[in-house]
Amino acid sequence: MSDNGKSMSGSIAPVDLYERVTAQGDKIRTLKSEKAPKDEIDCAVKLLLSLKVDYKNLTGQDYKPGVPPTDNTSINSNGPLSTDNGDDFVDPWTVQTGNAKGVDYDKLIVRFGSSKIDKDLIDRISRVIGQKPHHFLRRGIFFSHRDMHQILDAYGKKKPFYLYTGRGPSSEAMHVGHLIPFIFTKWLQEVFNVPLVVQLTDDEKYLWKDLTVEKAYQYAIENAKDIIACGFDVNKTFIFSDLDYMGTSSGFYKNVVKVQKHVTFNQVKGIFGFTDSDCIGKISFPAIQAAPSFSSSFPEIFKERTDIQCLIPCAIDQDPYFRMTRDVAPRINCPKPALMHSTFFPALQGAQTKMSASDPNSSIFLTDTAKQIKTKINKHAFSGGKDTIEEHRQFGGNCDIDVCYMYLTFFLEDDEKLEQIRQDYTSGALLTGELKKILIDTLQPMIAAHQERKKQITEETVKQFMTPRKLAFDF
């Protein structure tokens, strides 16, 4: 297959183009597993996106793994169609978009079949908890949900629920983007006063990355310290490593096996794009990520109860795991988990991709010094400003693509100050260098405070959080 990236939709049969898309997806997975250079992988991903656009333009349908076109598939003869997700490509391992503003989340809601967190839902959450909603809700950072109204109904009737979120420990140091689900989860735990389980998928990282089992577990412990440093209550929170916990909990493993029995190989290939050359560990892993959605996976916390619903705050790229989980849940007599989805945290170089733990210049890490934070922002943060001061004063900057402004929407809590910054930058009154300084002054003390809290966390503290035990709730 040629890698020239040119459109081929006008001279190829749908089934042939389908096979080319499939082969290109396989090629990308091979490149990643072989740790090919990033520019080579990026080039291959761009070609995949182009091929998917060609497929949609040719057939009028989105490409779906495991669902080839039939003889009845109509061929579009009216020129290019706008795709449902444009140039966006989102799965649990890859986020790619050609739009400098980032992923089109409204279209992603339609594609994934979730529901928008609208003003009515935000107002209802505010009424139920009796306080102002978190700025992640007010600003659309958590933008999509599944069954959040059920959770609020249950809470109003004093029925219990619990929180579940997680972290894939792919490196020793986490970056600021990794904090987003934990900041929001901590807020949810505090306002609803519910138990929380945090899954560290060190087994997943061993299967997908070039890591030893020992190294993956070490990363899990280090990441646990960063999570604890967010301020979680040890009496209400259980953090666990898959490599450690699954071997000791019969309840957890029983649920893994139940999920495995109800998902076929063809289904998991269709959902996650696995191929015949993937190891069987990858194919079976989704059941392990599904298991914490069921209260019976944690008998120390919930005893033998199977009826307690789970709410999962996570980035929307993790949704395929839980669409599968929600499909299986009724068949194993468990409630479907509810979800709240966040947007992606952009790389310093722009909103086209997520931050990457493997690229130090794409991220602000929680281990960075004040000087490193300043240097990274000044040198690498993508700007929405104009090329010269004169042009910027005249035409203003573009907050929609400016990474520093995007970061402030996550970490600057003052709504009025944020709006003033937006107005000043858009009008040209605020220069790019001044906007970068505001972000530096916001992140430096925040990360320094996090580092100080982490210093206080001992091995004994980690052990307390990671020991299966009864929490401060009666079930």
Domain presence at residue 468: no
Read off the pLDDT band of 46 (50, 70, 90): confident
What is the phi/psi pair of residue 362, to 5°? -90, -10
Look at residues 20, 351, 310 and name the one whose alpha carbon lies nearest to residue 166: 310
Cα–Cα distances (Å) from 97 to 33, 93, 282, 311, in that order, read: 22, 14, 25, 28
pLDDT digits (tens, 9 = 90+) for 87-136: 577 766 667 676 767 788 888 888 888 999 999 999 999 999 999 999 99
pLDDT reading at 356 higher than 80: no
Separation of alpha carbons 436 and 438, rounded Å: 5
Separation of alpha carbons 351 and 98, rounded Å: 9
pLDDT digits (tens, 9 = 90+) for 144-195: 999 999 999 999 999 999 999 999 998 888 999 999 999 999 999 999 999 9
Read off the pLDDT band of 79 (50, 70, 90): very low
Q: Write down the pLDDT at residue 12.
A: 60
Tell which of 298, 322, 347 closes a domain: 347
Domain presence at residue 102: no
Same domain? 226 vs 133: yes
Tell which of 295, 327, 347 closes a domain: 347
Q: Write down the pLDDT at residue 90.
A: 73
Indicate the residue type of 70: T
Q: Write down the pLDDT at residue 362.
A: 82
Q: Which of 50-54, 80-84, 309-313 has the lowest mean pLDDT?
A: 80-84
Q: Write down the pLDDT at residue 11.
A: 42
User: Which residues lie closer than 8 Å to 422 by C-beta, 6 or more apart?
Assistant: 399, 405
pLDDT reading at 408 higher than 70: yes
pLDDT digits (tens, 9 = 90+) for 452-465: 999 999 999 999 99
Please report, for the domain that includes residue 309, its CATH number.
Answer: 3.40.50.620
167 touches 201 (CB < 8 A): yes
How many structural domains does the chain have? 3
Same domain? 341 vs 445: no
Backbone CA torsion sign across 108, 110, 111, 113: positive
Using a cut of 0.85, tell me whether the model's pTM lies above it. Answer: no
Q: Write down the pLDDT at residue 55.
A: 80
Read off the pLDDT band of 5 (50, 70, 90): very low
Pairing, β 196-200 against β 95-96: unpaired
Q: For residue 392, give its domain range.
A: 357-455
Mean pLDDT of 275-303: 95
Q: Write down the pLDDT at residue 2.
A: 35
DSSP 429: S
- Helix (H/G/I), strand (E/B), else coil: 240: strand
Same domain? 186 vs 229: yes
Token pair in block for residue 332? 């194993």
Q: Write down the pLDDT at residue 39.
A: 66
Percentage of the chain with pLDDT > 90? 68
Mean pLDDT of 338-360: 79
Domain presence at residue 98: no
332 touches 258 (CB < 8 A): yes
Read off the pLDDT band of 352 (50, 70, 90): low
Separation of alpha carbons 240 and 200, rounded Å: 6
Same domain? 253 vs 112: yes
Q: Write down the pLDDT at residue 390.
A: 94
Domain presence at residue 88: no
Same domain? 135 vs 264: yes
Domain presence at residue 368: yes
